[in-house]
Amino acid sequence: AKQEEPTQTVKTTVEEKPAKEKKAEAKSEQSPEQKTEAKQEHKPREPQMVTANGEKVSHGHAFQSTTNPDDWYFTAKINGVQLKPQKMDAADLAAYQKKEMTVPQLMERYYPTKLMPKVSEEAFRMPKELAGPDGAITIDKFNVYKEKDEQRPDFGKYKFYAQMGDTKMSAVASKEDLNAYFDRVVSPTQLVEKNFGERLHLKSAYEKYQLPEEVDPKGVRVAKDHADNKWKVSMDLGEKGKTSKHEISFDDGYSLFRAKTATRE
């Protein structure tokens, strides 16, 4: 499938909001009390919080869906720009209505990447280098695209695309990673490391996995299964018995046996 640069539709998906909810919110914002308050004060509304980037958060509130009364959403504005409403957890709604949760706390819960410090613009300029098992890996290109191949199981999903020389990779992007990318709080290099680390045989991709302290690493078994001739990993837990055998992927096997960036543990 043809890889392509991200289009405006990607950002729209992340930031826009349903028309019906816009109407509901607009209606709630133009209450008589607010109009009177504006006439009396004639000054800008004080922000409910200021982000790490100095951006002002205002109009943070919960509202009920007009299409499904059981659903409530939280939304706010940053520097006057409306954020896409996020469906609230029932416990959060109850806490907010009892004034046990504040707007800053709800912002942290539903818009975490909006509050994080942005990385430098330089971090988005390609090419960039990443430490690989055999020296530096040069990232020549990184972008986001929407899968258009209807035959693929991930059709219609947003994906990250990375190119390192002649090597091209893509992976379905999580909502969290997409928001972090568009809000510029994580660099392309970090996203490559996170989403393609195993395929690039990076040591950091495996260091995040740790055996529980109470488990003896000597119990790890990596061996070729003679039934199907595939390498598999299992764990002897002593008195608790043994785990089932799990096939090792090609990339994990390469990292373990060739690149030496992964360990049996």
- In-domain check, residue 204: no
pTM above 0.75, yes or no: no
**Strands 135-139 and 141-146, how do they pair?**
unpaired
Contact 157, 149 (CB under 8 A): no
- In-domain check, residue 131: yes
- In-domain check, residue 210: no
Distance of CA 129 to the CA centre of its chain: 22
Query: Is 96 in the same domain as 128?
Result: no
- In-domain check, residue 211: no
- In-domain check, residue 47: yes
pLDDT band at residue 214 under the 50/70/90 scheme: confident
Q: Which residues contact 155 (CB under 8 A, 6 or more apart)?
A: 147, 148, 149
Range of the domain at 65: 15-115
Query: Is 104 in the same domain as 147?
Result: no
Q: What is the pLDDT of residues 118-172, one digit of tens each?
A: 999 999 999 999 988 888 999 999 999 999 999 999 999 999 999 999 999 999 9
Query: Is 227 in the same domain as 181?
Result: no
- In-domain check, residue 265: no
- In-domain check, residue 206: no
**Angle subtended at Cα 121 by Cα 120 and Cα 123, rounded to the nearest 5 degrees:** 70
For 176, list phi and psi in degrees, rounded to 5.
-65, -45
Q: What is the pLDDT of residues 8-40, one digit of tens each?
A: 444 434 444 454 454 444 444 555 555 555 555
Q: Where do the DSSP E strands lie in the chain?
A: 49-50, 56-64, 72-78, 81-82, 86-87, 128-132, 135-139, 141-146, 158-164, 167-172, 220-225, 230-235, 246-247
Amino acid sitting at position 29: E
Query: Is 150 in the same domain as 181?
Result: yes
Listed residues 115, 136, 165: the one ending a domain: 115
Domain count, the chain: 3
Listed residues 115, 137, 154: the one ending a domain: 115
Helices then strands, each counted (H, E), the chain:
10, 13
Sheet strands side by side (includes 141-146): 141-146, 158-164, 167-172
Query: Is 69 in the same domain as 133?
Result: no
Listed residues 92, 115, 138: the one ending a domain: 115
Does residue 5 carry a pLDDT above 60? no
Phi-psi region of 201 (alpha: psi -120 to 50; beta: other; left: phi over 0): left
Query: Is 155 in the same domain as 232?
Result: no
Query: Is 127 in the same domain as 101?
Result: no
- In-domain check, residue 8: no
Query: Is 21 in the same domain as 111?
Result: yes
- Structure tokens belonging to residue 95: 């806490």
Q: What is the pLDDT of residues 73-125, one digit of tens each?
A: 999 999 999 999 999 999 999 999 999 999 999 999 999 999 999 999 999 99
Contact 64, 74 (CB under 8 A): no
For 32, list phi and psi in degrees, rounded to 5.
-55, -40
